[in-house]
A and B are shown apart, each in its own frame.
Chain A
């Protein structure tokens, strides 16, 4: 079981647009809400009204970068399981609890088999797995496997909770194994990135990098709009007077 399955064509995953994510944490909480009530043990919060340490399957980081030219930038960076093709969290699992679904590539934990050793979390370079202290089992993004195929939900709601809720539309769900899918197109058009390719995990999720930032300067295209036509008020008023004849 902890052998990785034969590669299936279907690679369900997320495409996250770093150019659009405003860092609102909607996905974080929507995920917490759905997955507390649904798949497996609830996501607990210890010392909930004191120091508070909760289990979350999705967290929004934020980073600054200072380009050589121009102002410093801030990038919001949501991160959850990337459902890697070569998922080290799966192969290290001694009990077979951690597995990758053959039919769609979703990486899951079978909580009935998990002994809470934490090795899968160690193996994951991305910090996608958190051991729930109350339940003693490993929790991770399920890609809302209990939503995306859920016949009790209307068709349009069969997508991960984080995607459904994202106000800015920065999260996209689909089959990254299908080159013609909307998510694959996005990745192709926007140069979607893998995280930590050097780790050899072959993540399915992709990140769309922020588009280049600008700092408006007097470029040629603006020349006509920079040209001072009326140095004095009377000049402008005279021009307006003439223009009013024409409009």
Chain B
């Protein structure tokens, strides 16, 4: 018998449709292979700027997501009690009628009584526009518990953030230091980048209490104690200053280091920049020996010295920072115990960073002209790059920690230079070029501007005339002045408490607030189902939109079923969070590569239809007729500014302009033709030094990122912080309430500081963290028959020292207790872990009845959430107050500050707490899968 004859060239598909992945927030390009009109196989699009052909586990498992049994099938009206999960299917017409019957009166009388918050929304420029047209100030997405520390710290400091908004110069960096991770953002680009660094033999240092994933492959692991990254970074800065390893030319030319600061404590302007009559920051010109505007073409700024200007003493920002960070408080010996690293290692790491930055420096022979009009014949490279994500973001000191990291980068001169950290368009863009928050309500009319933005002083806070918060989430108030992403995690508890006011309708999109997307989910469930004295629900109406039968669905009165990602239109827009690369602007679409087989609509289309029904401006014309048929129509025809719409590609009648141009009726067809994306490459001379590079600024204006060149310098000194401090000192017109003054004075230091994230507690000494597995995205992965087999159970990983101290053995369970309660969970041993830290995979635990899972599913028996241990408020302190468990600057939920104690318990069958099963609005999944769609099989 010979070898069997094989068909080595089977037909792969009848058709390949290219769209954008939505299995996480990375937004890779995918090829969806169809057979007989059904999805047969998904792989990565080789031409796509984000993933260049590769695709992660989630993306490759898209077929199981698209066919998930948990998909909602039709609009639902609640017929049982809230939380039970009893629904009846209704028509879309009835769904819109119900929604309009609640919303239309609100809009006419009190638009703020609608709170509209979106979770993993990739269309925030659209959803926020809808909310703005509705007129409610109560809109935000989920950034407040996700990333706002990163975003705000980055934008106030550099005009751009880590996360997916920038990337190391993978081609040139020789030392890459990664702090914390978020596996669901820029995940494939980071993996590709690390692979590239490994190929080149560049060094990767991971700073993370847990050595998994990127930290596992890092050449060096710095297993820092959680919440102390800022202290570690400031100590590195201390070392660099003491050894004189800083980039003076960079500091002088591209940062506010030479800007003059009022140094007279008696002056009302103390701590503010010296500005000219146009508001321009002034520097001391060494040649002219006088203060001059920082951007004067021939200016020669000094970095040191003290000058009296108009009889008030001034010194440079650099002077202030040198004095601050050379203090012995930041010496490695002073911080070593707290960060969990030896002083010698901190010094050595600082030296290694400096060595690579300065000894391995290089130049690119590219001529460029800076914003002062000076032409340089080369680009100075600094091959040291940093990146950071959620690990340092979700701490109560995350804002200042992230700023500290930016200070470190600036001192090394490694941002926006070859080999350093680079921004992706539309960044860099200074905080001042972003909108300020808006909250002025006019019943029956739109809000006065975009909800979210960047405050520059107390005058920009969202406060009502009586000083009370204007927003239901209390964003942009004294409690968290720079809450640029809003505070979605506070909405339900504030709405329940009627603090600052009661609302009528809570409208949520794709946010599993009654489960893994909340702190203290049990408390949230109680608040969602609580009734007042009359027997009515305290939160009267809840509308929820989701594609899947998540835990949150059961708490809605009205459910708007969304489509899967392969059935919808979307735009990944430059107005929002595009898919740009450091060398290119790029945006993308999703389009229905298959039609839904259920009575569902893309949420954005539903919102357009609802908007038209409510006759919202921007959604109907003067005659009251709908402006857009659906979201696809909006994507093509909406213009935010003349010539600038959601999509940058193929604009203009003939589709020949990019960035700016008239509406092109064929725009979506052109996107589809091109694989679902459009890309505009940055000219070579504009690729680095973007904030100061004339060629880049001109290019950015040309493609519509801004309307005029907006060069600026990076800020060591965050003047808005100083303004809040001044208010707390009794200076500004608007002043904080007495109980917040000390907090504001202490934490809103214009130069980054470090402070402990929680009170030292004898009871709770162990840090407890979560990480997102690379193969899972939020709670979504568990409905995916392939992915859930990888992570169906999440043990609590315990470091060796605690493992032995508690006498754990394999198969043991533990009771884990925090100030907010306890959970009982399986444990496992891990050696490559900070010795004061336990951790688990995030969002694996599921409530019985949700996600179309069987009740025997391990996610619902052994899976668990740490969320039950975390509360949005700290327990009462000595002052009797329950302070917010968040960053006092941005309001970022501080869920990585969790401290616990653990005790060994006998092995259990089920993790605690257990909640009653929910009824599912969908049928259970099939018993067995043997998935194949091709007719050949």
Interface residue tally for chain B (C-beta within 8 Å): 115
Query: Using Cβ atoms and an 8 Å threshold, which residues of chain B touch A221?
Result: 355
* Known A-B contacts A23-B216, A42-B932; A146 and B8 likewise in contact (beta carbons under 8 Å): yes
| A24 touches B (CB below 8 Å) | yes
Interface with B: A116-124, A160-168, A194-202, which one? A160-168
Per-residue 0/1 for B878-895: is the Cβ within 8 Å of any A Cβ (1 yes, 0 no)? 000000000000000000
Does A45 contact B195, Cβ atoms closer than 8 Å? no
* Known A-B contacts A42-B931, A101-B3, A241-B305; A166 and B242 likewise in contact (beta carbons under 8 Å): no
Does A64 contact B832, Cβ atoms closer than 8 Å? yes
Q: How far is the CA of A153 from the CA of B248 in the complex (A)?
A: 54
- Which of B1, B203, B349, B929 is packed against the most chain A CB atoms within 10 Å? B929
Does B792 contact A228, Cβ atoms closer than 8 Å? no
* Known A-B contacts A29-B787, A52-B789, A244-B303; A167 and B352 likewise in contact (beta carbons under 8 Å): no
Query: Using Cβ atoms and an 8 Å threshold, which residues of chain A touch B191?
Result: 22, 24, 167-168
B5 and chain A: residue at smallest CB distance: A110
Point out the residue from A135, A211, A229 that lies within 8 Å of B243, measured CB to CB: A229
Q: How far is the CA of A233 from the CA of B306 in the complex (A)?
A: 14
Does A51 contact B785, Cβ atoms closer than 8 Å? no
Does B51 contact A228, Cβ atoms closer than 8 Å? no
| A14 touches B (CB below 8 Å) | no
Instruction: Please list 8 pairs of residues, one from A and one from B, whose beta carbons are closer than 8 Å in the complex, sorted by A's number.
Output: A48-B926, A49-B69, A49-B857, A49-B926, A168-B191, A216-B345, A216-B351, A218-B351
A30 to chain B: closest CB distance in Å? 4
* Known A-B contacts A149-B8, A214-B220; A225 and B245 likewise in contact (beta carbons under 8 Å): yes
B916 to chain A: closest CB distance in Å? 19
Query: Using Cβ atoms and an 8 Å threshold, which residues of chain A touch B302?
Result: 241, 244
Point out the residue from B4, B213, B219, B856 that lies within 8 Å of A213, measured CB to CB: B219
* Known A-B contacts A45-B789, A150-B12, A244-B248; A1 and B322 likewise in contact (beta carbons under 8 Å): no
Q: How far is the CA of A62 from the CA of B212 in the complex (A)?
A: 10
Query: Using Cβ atoms and an 8 Å threshold, which residues of chain A touch B761?
Result: none
Does A24 contact B195, Cβ atoms closer than 8 Å? no
Does A232 contact B326, Cβ atoms closer than 8 Å? yes
* Known A-B contacts A51-B858, A218-B351; A26 and B345 likewise in contact (beta carbons under 8 Å): no
- Which of B2, B57, B220, B248 is packed against the most chain A CB atoms within 10 Å? B57
Q: How far is the CA of A232 from the CA of B322 in the complex (A)?
A: 9
Does A74 contact B243, Cβ atoms closer than 8 Å? no
Q: How far is the CA of A62 from the CA of B857 in the complex (A)?
A: 23
Per-residue 0/1 for A20-37: is the Cβ within 8 Å of any B Cβ (1 yes, 0 no)? 111111101110111011
Known: A22-B213, A225-B352. 20 other contacts (CB 8 A): A20-B198, A20-B217, A22-B191, A32-B61, A33-B63, A37-B933, A49-B857, A51-B858, A53-B789, A74-B215, A74-B832, A101-B3, A165-B56, A170-B195, A217-B344, A217-B345, A222-B352, A225-B243, A230-B326, A233-B326
Query: Using Cβ atoms and an 8 Å threshold, which residues of chain B touch A56?
Result: 789
Point out the residue from B198, B252, B351 that lies within 8 Å of A222, measured CB to CB: B351
| A83 touches B (CB below 8 Å) | no
* Known A-B contacts A64-B831, A152-B11, A240-B303; A225 and B192 likewise in contact (beta carbons under 8 Å): no
A26 to chain B: closest CB distance in Å? 5
* Known A-B contacts A23-B213, A225-B355, A237-B304; A215 and B345 likewise in contact (beta carbons under 8 Å): yes
| B852 touches A (CB below 8 Å) | yes
Interface residue tally for chain A (C-beta within 8 Å): 100
* Known A-B contacts A23-B212, A153-B12; A240 and B318 likewise in contact (beta carbons under 8 Å): yes
* Known A-B contacts A96-B1, A168-B191; A45 and B785 likewise in contact (beta carbons under 8 Å): yes
Query: Using Cβ atoms and an 8 Å threshold, which residues of chain A touch B928?
Result: 44-48, 134
* Known A-B contacts A49-B69, A222-B352; A134 and B857 likewise in contact (beta carbons under 8 Å): no
Q: How far is the CA of A211 from the CA of B852 in the complex (A)?
A: 44
- Which of B44, B358, B774, B792 is packed against the most chain A CB atoms within 10 Å? B774
Query: Using Cβ atoms and an 8 Å threshold, which residues of chain A touch B351?
Result: 216, 218, 222, 225-226
Interface with A: B35-43, B93-101, B723-731, which one? B35-43
Point out the residue from B6, B792, B833 that lies within 8 Å of A146, measured CB to CB: B6
| A151 touches B (CB below 8 Å) | yes
Q: How far is the CA of A150 from the CA of B43 in the complex (A)?
A: 16
Among B212-249, those with CB < 8 Å from A are 212-217, 219-221, 223, 241-245, 248-249
Query: Using Cβ atoms and an 8 Å threshold, which residues of chain A touch B350?
Result: 225
A243 to chain B: closest CB distance in Å? 5
Point out the residue from A17, A29, A167 that lies within 8 Å of B61, measured CB to CB: A29
Does A213 contact B220, Cβ atoms closer than 8 Å? yes
* Known A-B contacts A37-B934, A150-B12; A228 and B286 likewise in contact (beta carbons under 8 Å): no
Point out the residue from A24, A33, A213, A243 that lies within 8 Å of B221, measured CB to CB: A213
Query: Using Cβ atoms and an 8 Å threshold, which residues of chain B touch A224?
Result: 355
Among A144-177, those with CB < 8 Å from B are 145-146, 149-153, 156-157, 161, 164-170
Query: Using Cβ atoms and an 8 Å threshold, which residues of chain A touch B54?
Result: 26, 164-167
Q: How far is the CA of A36 from the CA of B932 in the complex (A)?
A: 6
Point out the residue from B40, B211, B322, B927 that lies within 8 Å of A72, measured CB to CB: B211
Does B831 contact A134, Cβ atoms closer than 8 Å? no
A134 and chain B: residue at smallest CB distance: B930
* Known A-B contacts A73-B216, A74-B216, A222-B348; A33 and B60 likewise in contact (beta carbons under 8 Å): yes
Per-residue 0/1 for A182-201: is the Cβ within 8 Å of any B Cβ (1 yes, 0 no)? 00000000000000000000
B303 and chain A: residue at smallest CB distance: A240
Does A26 contact B56, Cβ atoms closer than 8 Å? yes
Query: Using Cβ atoms and an 8 Å threshold, which residues of chain A touch B323?
Result: 233
Q: How far is the CA of A157 from the CA of B47 in the complex (A)?
A: 13
* Known A-B contacts A42-B932, A153-B12; A76 and B241 likewise in contact (beta carbons under 8 Å): no
Query: Using Cβ atoms and an 8 Å threshold, which residues of chain A touch B924?
Result: 49
Per-residue 0/1 for B244-262: is the Cβ within 8 Å of any A Cβ (1 yes, 0 no)? 1100110010000000000
Q: How far is the CA of A226 from the CA of B229 in the complex (A)?
A: 21
Point out the residue from B41, B326, B854 that lies within 8 Å of A37, measured CB to CB: B41
Does B10 contact A146, Cβ atoms closer than 8 Å? yes
Query: Using Cβ atoms and an 8 Å threshold, which residues of chain B touch A146?
Result: 6-10
B242 and chain A: residue at smallest CB distance: A228
Point out the residue from A43, A66, A75 that lies within 8 Å of B831, measured CB to CB: A66
Does B217 contact A21, Cβ atoms closer than 8 Å? yes
| A7 touches B (CB below 8 Å) | no
Point out the residue from B1, B60, B194 that lies within 8 Å of A168, measured CB to CB: B194
Query: Using Cβ atoms and an 8 Å threshold, which residues of chain A touch B69?
Result: 49
- Which of A38, A73, A110, A157 is packed against the most chain B CB atoms within 10 Å? A38
Does B304 contact A49, Cβ atoms closer than 8 Å? no
Q: How far is the CA of A210 from the CA of B854 in the complex (A)?
A: 40
* Known A-B contacts A165-B44, A213-B220, A216-B352; A42 and B9 likewise in contact (beta carbons under 8 Å): no
* Known A-B contacts A228-B243, A229-B244; A145 and B216 likewise in contact (beta carbons under 8 Å): no
Among A60-113, those with CB < 8 Å from B are 62, 64, 66, 71-76, 96, 99, 101-102, 108, 110, 112-113
Per-residue 0/1 for B23-56: is the Cβ within 8 Å of any A Cβ (1 yes, 0 no)? 0000000000001000011111010000101111
Query: Using Cβ atoms and an 8 Å threshold, which residues of chain B touch A54?
Result: 785-786, 789, 929
Among B127-166, those with CB < 8 Å from A are none
Q: How far is the CA of A102 from the CA of B928 in the complex (A)?
A: 36
Does B854 contact A49, Cβ atoms closer than 8 Å? yes
Query: Using Cβ atoms and an 8 Å threshold, which residues of chain B touch A126?
Result: none
Query: Using Cβ atoms and an 8 Å threshold, which residues of chain B touch A112?
Result: 4
A169 to chain B: closest CB distance in Å? 4
Query: Using Cβ atoms and an 8 Å threshold, which residues of chain A touch B213?
Result: 22-24
A217 and chain B: residue at smallest CB distance: B348
Does B347 contact A218, Cβ atoms closer than 8 Å? yes
Does A37 contact B40, Cβ atoms closer than 8 Å? yes
B4 to chain A: closest CB distance in Å? 5
Query: Using Cβ atoms and an 8 Å threshold, which residues of chain A touch B60?
Result: 26, 29-30, 32-33, 165
| B372 touches A (CB below 8 Å) | no
* Known A-B contacts A134-B930, A225-B354, A236-B244; A48 and B785 likewise in contact (beta carbons under 8 Å): yes
B821 to chain A: closest CB distance in Å? 29
- Which of B195, B319, B856 is packed against the most chain A CB atoms within 10 Å? B195
| B532 touches A (CB below 8 Å) | no
